[in-house]
Every structure is written in structure tokens, then in C-alpha cells.
Amino acid sequence: MALPAALSAAIASELGAPLEHEQPVFGGDINQSARFQAGGTTYFVKWNSSAPGAMFPAEARGLQLLAQANAVRVPAVIAQRNADGACPAFLVLEWIETGSKRGTGNTMARFGSALAELHRHTAETHGLDHDNFIGRLPQPNPPTPDWATFYRDHRIGFQMAIARKRGRLPSRREDLLTRLMDRLPDLLDDVIPVSLLHGDLWGGNYLIDIRGEAVIIDPAVYYGHREMDLAMSELFGGFSGQFYDAYHTAYPLDGYDERRALYQLYYILVHLNLFGESYGGRVDSIAAHYVGYRR
């Protein structure tokens, strides 16, 4: 597969070498992607002619922030440009040569411990110094001292506004979610560490490299409650038991089981807005549970 000519030329200019051995890479539903060689090194590139101008810069900044934590491996950012004439927006990353698809027990245990170490990187406020994206949807990250306020306004409330515009917020659902948002200060303790998060940590967003090390990709980075990453990791089948055992040994949690579905609600709302009403019933049932929940 040949990359678009303008894209190849732009990447060659960035890397100082012509592109060779281009091959398509499949797996995402937002961007096109490929692997290629330049100057004897293999790289990965994703591109999109209609990407929002902030999308690839935000992803690059998120990967760099995760890399600075030096806890979990991420692909190195090589080059990034926004769309320019015939050249689409693109992001060039280090190519990760993969081994086992999901990893052995020891690999997943090391991954769990590494995620715990990532979560020990903290900040003064929830959010980030820039907004980014979760999938194709914008994700606002205004610095906010109070976690319940951040989760209410910039996670649940923001997705509700998108759902309303897309006709996916019937009156009963809106009523349940509104009542739930009113209850969040009671449901969420605000005295928590403000942890650095991957932000979209499901099974499709990590790889296992040829050394048996986990590599996280496609982040939606911000600072928040670390249980968000764990809740997302359990939403679509979960990771291995060794992963969770190692995480909890390295960084124990208290009361997470009570909040798991509440934090999964954000990601299910995202899926409702991306993929439609097949996720509506789960939104309704979680909201109804917490509206009536007493702790």
C-alpha cells in the first residue's frame, strides 16, 4: 500500500530519508495507518484528512506526558503535523514489534505494577493544561480542584450535552442522569490522590512487545481518580487476574467495587454517542442504580 504522495513527502522531509516498504496496519476505526521504513528504521504512522486540528497534537502530548512518568512503556513520538493542502494530518510513532498478543501471567503482573506506578504521578488539580479527545469525541480537561465537580461537569455532563444534540437523551434518561449528577458529591469522596491517567485503558489500547513488556497506546490523558483507568479496563472483558492482583498489591484501593460502574458510566456514555442506542440500556441501569444507592 502506497501512502498518499503528499503524506510520504511530508514524512520524508521530517525524517530526512525516503519511505520504503510501506504496509497497511489495521485495527482502528478513526484513522488510516501503516508501517514503513526510512533510513533503515521502522516506524508507524496514522493519518486523517478530516481530523480536528487539535487531535493529533493532543495525542502526541499525551504520549509524551506518559513517557515522562517512566512507568509504563509508550511509543516514542517521532513527528506530527496538521493537515496542509493535499497532505492530511499525521502522527509518526516508534514502531512496536509485538510478541504475545495478550501477554503471560508475569507480563500482566508487571503491567499491573507499572500502572500503579503511573498512578503515583500526581498533580494539584484534576484535568490537564489542554483539552483532548476520547475516540472521535472531544474531552474537556479544565483544571478543577474538586473531583466530584470535574466528573459531573466535564465527564458526565459534557457527554449528556452531546447525547442531547444527537437525539440520544430521552426524557427518562435525562432525568435519571440529572438526578445522578446531583448526587455525585455524596457518592464520590474528594480526598483522593490526583493521578496521571491513560484515560481510555481498554484491551485494544495496549500491546505486548517482543520483550514481554506492555506498551500503552491511544491515550486520552488527564489527571483524575485512578479508579477511572481500572473501571475502563474491566468494561469489555477485563484484563487478567494477575494484572489486578499486582496492581492492588502495589497500590491498594478501598471502596472501588462501589464506584466501578459509576466510573464505567462515562465510557458507556461515550459509546452511546459514538455507536448509538445499543448502549442506552446500560446507561439507564447504572444511573438508576446510583440514584437509589445509599452508602
Number of Cβ within 10 Å of residue 164's Cβ equals 12
Q: Which of 29, 129, 175, 200 is catalytic?
A: 200
**Residue 200 annotated as catalytic:** yes
Q: Which residues are catalytic?
A: 200
